[in-house]
Amino acid sequence: MEQSFQKNSIIFDFSQTEEKPPTDTKFIITLIIPALLVFSLAIFLPIIIGVFISFTNSSGTTGYFGSAFSITNYYELLTYGNYNTRDFWQDTYQTIFFSVVSLFIEFILGLIFAQILNKQFRGRGIARATLLIPWALPTVASSTIFRFEIFSPAPTWGLINNILELLSIRPIDFYGPDALILFELPILIPFEPFIDFLPIKMTMFTIIAIDVWKTTPFFTLLILAALQIVSEDLYKSADVEGATAWQKFRYITWPLIKPGVGVALIFRMMDALRVYDLNVVFNDKSVDSMTSQAVNLWFASRWGLSAAVTVMLFLFILLFAVIILKLTRREKSISIKSKSRFQKFFKRKEDLTELVIEDIEIESESSILELSESKMAWFKRKLLLKKGVLYLITIMMCLFCASPFIWIILRSFRDPYITQTGFELFPKVFNLRSYEVVFQTSEFTGVSFDHALLNSFILSGLTVLVVIFIGSFIAYALAKFNFRLKPTLGSFIFFMTSLPPLMIAIPFYIQMASIAKIFPFLDFRNNILGLVLPYAAFNLPLAVFVLQAFFKEIPEDLWHAAKVDGASNFQIFRKIILPLTVPGIFTCSILVFIASWNELLFAQIWLTSDINHTVPRAILRFVRSPLLQADWNTDLALMAATSIATVPLVIIVLIFQNKIISGITSGAVKG
């Protein structure tokens, strides 16, 4: 029995379409110009400015563009050996350690969860919906939840430590000055003593645990998308040959999904290396990252040095992306031979570009052998055992994803004015007074929380409008037309996902400050409207990936038929193409809205006044400067604020989980 499979790309491939697309130069230019303008103002120019000031002595005394051009910043960071040098290498190794360990755990869990969700079983929809809960929460909210409620010390009624006390187990200091140093990591540094030891504290594994909880669901969806190209016929043939589950994964599943998993790993590694929201909540030097160092240098008015750190971070991201890409790339020629329980696999052949399953023969039996009752009973027990294990793992997965969120919802309904004297699994005094504190006491964060909600809603909504308007144009051009710069433009959009946000945030701020000096009426610093452009630029790649997949699904015959009837290109796009892609636009809108709502880094740098704070910025402000004289439990009020910021997003995700999952998987497999 022989089957061959076309190697459909599961990376974002902008250069191939199923049919020869039409060409219309003027119309194509019109489609891509809005995106090019956004990229130029929010990406190109800030990158040039950022790289330039990294070679200057830009600071609060010399101005944004400095007074001298040199490599002093890089020398001070890499080899000088002073305070900033030691900080740079410590933060760099901490960033790499965090990224590698968290990515490894997320890879293992993501594979397990994706394999489960790829099976057909009762309740799969609920499991898939539950999986999206951590992903919907802002990262600063996730960190806040775990720091103040899940991992907090026993005297402050932390969930895990109080459970440990109930089990007569000594509580653990998950963070803080008393956190245990687990081991010291030997590191190389380019100055004396050349070999140093980096202490890895419990705090590091605390933020790794939070990151795993937060990002494993999205990683799972990307792997689930890759699994869609694996045919069930392969597994059936392997079953006939007597292959074990491990053999089927090793010799069938993994070779086919490896390139898709590689893309997922690259995206996650990029995101992990840019970590900021997680560690900034803990405010602990032992878990600082390269991004947090750059932010600290920015607020210390060492702008040139801050820009140099972001450039170095970008180079690290590119290095790791290349390494992962090489490790997970698809072999040019692969064949699989399955004989005698899959003893021979992966025989390479020259000039073969398809994965071929050879020599899998099914010997037909002349008669059906009767199974004994004992064998039948054993077979039934085996099936029941497999089903039981499947449901057990599924329940554990759902508890893993939903339990922290359910816990903070319960805690938010506990009366903050009545002193808690013992651990409460369920609130003893159940009311809405924590929510009253949030909305009626402006001192909660130093700003009006309802105003922060309004700011986040306006900013996220405007970002969605801009991204959908521009993204639909460029996605349509890439999906349905041929033009000379198509591969270059597609590659650049994919490349943009590797940019550290800080590499754009700081130069963009300097760029807008320079423009404001010439045109004061264009000064959008400390204004939520000033963030629409960079938010749109960073969300455009996601929109293009998702929308392009939906545009590709539209038959070319509709375009040609409309053209014959005399419709213009814009009429075809507006009256035929867009109505057919409403599900994709809706999915993309949800994804962009959530991403914009959860953003913290730009908001922290850009929005300095109280009245312009967004929800993540307001939560971080209270975390970093809690009220000490309040006559109510500030932690419970913080849980209420976190619930307000996250519950609407979770509800939206749960209602539209099918559209979100299909949009992400379609964008990954077909884009």
Residue 593 resides in a domain:
yes
CA-closest candidate to residue 145, choices 644, 635, 616: 635
- The pLDDT score that the predictor gives to residue 609 is 83
The average pLDDT across 256-284 equals 84
Pick from 125-134, 445-454, 641-650: least confident: 445-454
Residue 435 resides in a domain:
yes
CA-closest candidate to residue 28, choices 465, 485, 494: 485
What span, in angstroms and rounded, lies between the C-alpha atoms of 519 and 428?
59
CB-CB contact of 237 with 295 (8 Å): no
CB-CB contact of 172 with 426 (8 Å): no
Q: What is the DSSP string of 530-562?
A: GGHHHHHHHHHHHHHHHHHHHHHTS-HHHHHHH
Whether this prediction's pTM lies above 0.75 is answered by: yes
Pick from 88-92, 300-304, 332-336, 617-621: least confident: 332-336
Burial of 94 (0-12, 13-18, 19+ CB in 10 A): buried
pLDDT above 70 coverage of the chain, percent: 86
What span, in angstroms and rounded, lies between the C-alpha atoms of 462 and 528?
10
CB-CB contact of 58 with 47 (8 Å): no
- The pLDDT score that the predictor gives to residue 307 is 92
pLDDT tops 70 at residue 276: yes
Boundaries of domain holding 151: 3-361+384-418+427-669
Residue 345 resides in a domain:
yes
Q: Say how many domains are in the chain.
A: 1
CATH number at residue 469: 1.10.3720.10
Pairing of strands 181-188, 3-5: unpaired
Handedness of CA 100, 104, 105, 109 (dihedral sign): positive
Is the bond preceding 193 in cis, omega lying within 30 degrees of 0? yes
For residue range 313-368, list pLDDT tens digits in order: 988 888 888 887 777 665 544 444 444 444 444 343 333 334 333 433 333 343 34
Residue 179 resides in a domain:
yes
For residue range 528-587, list pLDDT tens digits in order: 988 999 999 888 888 888 888 888 888 878 877 887 878 888 888 888 888 888 888 888
**Residue 430 dihedral angles phi and psi, to the nearest 5°:** -105, 115
Q: Two tokens at 324? A: 């992962």
Residue 371 resides in a domain:
no
Residue 377 resides in a domain:
no
Contacts of 120 (CB under 8 A, 6+ apart): none
For residue range 392-422, list pLDDT tens digits in order: 989 999 999 999 989 989 999 988 888 888 8
pLDDT range class, residue 666, cuts 50, 70, 90: low
CB-CB contact of 88 with 293 (8 Å): yes
Q: Two tokens at 328? A: 């997970």
pLDDT range class, residue 7, cuts 50, 70, 90: very low
The average pLDDT across 501-511 equals 86
For residue range 14-32, list pLDDT tens digits in order: 344 444 445 578 888 888 8
| DSSP H or E run through 124 | helix 124-131
For residue range 418-446, list pLDDT tens digits in order: 888 888 888 888 888 888 888 876 655 56
pLDDT tops 60 at residue 493: yes
Residue 526 resides in a domain:
yes
Q: Two tokens at 660? A: 């979100």
Residue 373 resides in a domain:
no
What span, in angstroms and rounded, lies between the C-alpha atoms of 142 and 214?
7
Burial of 648 (0-12, 13-18, 19+ CB in 10 A): middle
Q: What is the DSSP string of 380-401?
A: HHHHHHHHHHHHHHHHHHHHHH
